[in-house]
Structure 1
Amino acid sequence: MKTDHKAVVLGCNYYIGLSIIRCLGQQGIHVTGVHYQEEGAYAFKSKYLSERVIAPHHEKEAEQFKNFLIAYAKKQTHKPVLYPTADPFVLLIDKYFDELKEYYLFNQTQKGFWSDIIDKDKLYLLAAEHNVRVPKSFSTDDEHLIEKVESELGYPCIIKPFDSSTFVSTFRRKLFKINNREELLEKLEAVKEKNIDVAVQQLIQGFDDHMYTFDAYLNQDAKVTHWLTAQKQRQYPINFGASVYIKQTHVPELAEIGIPFLEGIGYKGFAEIEFKKDEQTGEYYLIEINARTTNFNQMLAELGFNMPLLAYKELTGQPIGEQTLEETTGYGFHYMYEDLHATRAYLASKQLSVGQIAKTYTDKRVGAIWDRKDPRPGFAYLGVLLGKVKKKLF
């Protein structure tokens, strides 16, 4: 395999970046990690990282960050391949699309496409155009909003942002669950004060194991070449959070929905569609699309689907072939730290029992951070946790 092009990973304080570094570095690719500070950037400690770079803050100093990336690329003999690890990085690439495309390789070829995918309102319009089922939503601009919510959605319902990253950074949660009119009015006022665009949305019924994912890679012709599916078991925050324990489960119906939709909208690169299965009707609803590497990327790689490597090979002109996983392996991904918080909440709310949770600890799975072949990030992360404990105590 040719490895002339460097891989540049944006964001090194989260295990998604660490997983990308490992997926590429293990293949002999020069991986450059970019972060705004050393503190907390435990992925910097990976033995598979070739170069550590401190850059301006990608949100507080976006223009300077973009200029920094371009200056770095200009020094290279080959265009680097660019990897965003979180939505803010995806949006930044989209914002400076034309400038960055001149100096970097990345999958998308249409400016604004990723931003439209992340924007829930625009995504749901796209889904409706392609006959993909989505939860019913109402805009906060609707003058009869309260009446429509109570007559057509009912309680509980949810308030969901169009821009998840801004909402999460403001309220420290992905959405608001609304149980009555009083809560609806209170939370609508809260998002209005912060000037965050949201919609009031139907809550699809079902426990967290009714959440599924369709994970796929689409080539530069917008054709699905690789795919598999997974089923969430636990998430944090519970009921409306990210996967802390998920297992590979083959669900062919998700491919029947996901493949024509992604190809129909001209998607390129890695995509993860999150679906929720209605416990009453059995119908699958599209919830969102992750336009960056998934948090359980290491599980996909262990199953033979090294999505970062696929992007690297295709963008540097190397064949990638085709692959699907059409069986259930039950192999899992486990982020133990957040799962401990989730477990406490599941037990307190009586949604799961000790026995149900304990049984899953015998499953074959991969962890989010610890790897005995690359232990330093794990020790560094432990240091981060101890620092948090110290700060709380003193």
Structure 2
Amino acid sequence: MTALVFNCAFNGLSIIQELGRRGIDVYALDSFRNVGTTSRYATYRSCPNPTTDEAGFVEYLLDIADEFDDKPVLIPTNDHWAAAVAHHREELAEHYHTGVADAETVDLLIDKDAFGEWATERDYPVPRSWMGDELDDVPESAFPVAAKPNDATGVPDMMFDSTVALLYNRLFGDGSGPEFSAEEQAVVEALSENRLEVFETRDELERFRQEYEDVIEHFVVQEYVRGMSDQMYTVGVYANEGEVKGLFTGRKVRGYPPDIGDCKVGQAQSVPDHLVAMVKSMSEDLGYHGIGEFEFKRDVETGEYFLIEVNPRSWSWIGITPATGVSLPWMAYADQKNTYTFDYQESSVPDGSVTWVKAFEDLPNSLYFYRRSHPEWTKSLGEWWASIDSDTLVVAELAKDDPLPTAYATVLVGRRLVNETLDGVLERLA
């Protein structure tokens, strides 16, 4: 009864804890000591980072395969780790339950432009998109538009030393890998400054193209769906070769930054029936396998829902799902191991009755950091507590039976507060 969880931030921690509490032997694989690797429910194993060494990562998995008495389930929690497994799915399947979709599907989902074309051809409601070298084709009817990095994984076309791989790892990975050339550094700076940039007019878009003309091919431009992060809705699934067996629905209550940021508070919440039907249809079209997140955004002016992206792996607040009666990590493990036979399960708890919070980050955001750009999101301590109070509260950093991750999270938030305070002082002195 073994599972290997890759890339063990809070996403991985919640999966580790859920499986460990059910008696599964969990190994936390990462290229550095992340919060999930400190859990009492996991054994930490340092491994190559597939962002910069996909071949080494796969070789590592094959080398350790004989250590396990059973056939472990692989559960990646990050795009480029999922892509590495998908690219070697057949080879790894001799020793593991791979737990991811096939390479064609994963590569499609992580390429924003290619996925947009695929979805448009099948009449799924996605924003229109154009690559950075196609900006002359953007019609006036598309504005406002948003520019963002196109490739989220860093391992396209099996190029282990690709520029994009290095860029993504420096921006969102562990910072390891070779040094950049001057050209690569220019792309790093451009992408780090523009994870999402919104343009109301063509003149604004043209200024962006001129400023980043040397790296513009790394961006995709999409129609912008108006609204803040609280208009983001998640339909999370576990599917077995296209058949959805478990489904969770929820809404992001707060992200940081508040317009486009990662989820800091999320809650169980129903979505329109047509979105659930769409997710099931799309999973079947893709032959989707494993845990996945279908992320929608509701336009605040029209009320229309758009499919923003599909993440071919677990997502940051998957830790909410066990409390809603649909434990996607457990389903993903048990179904692939044939431990249990599952009938279709769907979360059906009352809206807002279950809340997930990354409290060590959301509290300082609400008390202080939102003031910088969106002061209307600032809250007093009492207002903050009222905003997360619910029948069931899942706190990402706190578990009575697993204290070391709490200590790790405390160090992280302390480091952040010190760094942010110093940055603020330097800004005032400048």
Q: TM-score, normalised by structure 2?
A: 0.80
Name the amino acid aligned to 2:16. I
**Matching of residues 23-172 of structure 1 within 5 Å:** 23-38=18-33, 41-49=34-42, 51-108=43-100, 110-142=102-134, 144-145=136-137, 148-149=138-139, 151-155=140-144, 157-165=145-153, 166=167, 168-169=171-172, 170=188, 171-172=191-192
Deviation readout 1:126-180 (Å, 9 max, x if unpaired): 22233211112223232624xx35x12224x200232135565443463222345
Alignment of 1:229 with 2:256, yes or no, is no
Aligned CA-pair RMSD: 2.6
Once the 2 structures are TM-superposed, how far is the Cα of residue 326 of structure 1 from its aligned partner? Answer: 3.2
Alignment of 1:328 with 2:346, yes or no, is no
Once the 2 structures are TM-superposed, how far is the Cα of residue 119 of structure 1 from its aligned partner? Answer: 1.1
**How many residue pairs get matched?**
381
Name the amino acid aligned to 2:26. V
Contact 2:75–2:99 (8 Å) recurs in 1: no
Contact 1:158–1:176 (8 Å) recurs in 2: yes
Deviation readout 1:51-107 (Å, 9 max, x if unpaired): 221122332332222211110113323222111111120122223333323322123
Gaps of 5+ in 2: 154-166, 173-187, 423-430
Once the 2 structures are TM-superposed, how far is the Cα of residue 16 of structure 1 from its aligned partner? Answer: 0.9
Q: Identify the range of structure 1 (127-136 vs 287-296) with the bigger mean alpha-carbon deviation.
A: 127-136
Residues 52 and 291 of structure 1: CA distance in aligned 2, closer, same or farther (over 3 Å)? same
**Matching of residues 286-325 of structure 1 within 5 Å:** 286-318=307-339, 319-325=341-347
CA distance in 2, matches of 1:109, 1:380: 32
Deviation readout 1:14-50 (Å, 9 max, x if unpaired): 1111111111111111111112233xx232221111x
Residues 85 and 130 of structure 1: CA distance in aligned 2, closer, same or farther (over 3 Å)? same
CA distance in 2, matches of 1:195, 1:96: 31
Match for residue 404 of structure 2 among 372, 376, 392: 376
Contact 2:265–2:357 (8 Å) recurs in 1: yes
The answer to which structure has the higher helix fraction is: 2
Contact 2:326–2:347 (8 Å) recurs in 1: no
CA distance in 2, matches of 1:25, 1:191: 47
Contact 2:113–2:130 (8 Å) recurs in 1: no
Residues 139 and 341 of structure 1: CA distance in aligned 2, closer, same or farther (over 3 Å)? farther
Residues 339 and 196 of structure 1: CA distance in aligned 2, closer, same or farther (over 3 Å)? farther
Counterpart in 2 of 1:352? 377
SS at match of 1:142: helix
CA distance in 2, matches of 1:91, 1:186: 34
Once the 2 structures are TM-superposed, how far is the Cα of residue 260 of structure 1 from its aligned partner? Answer: 1.5
**Matching of residues 261-272 of structure 1 within 5 Å:** 261-272=282-293
Contact 1:216–1:226 (8 Å) recurs in 2: yes
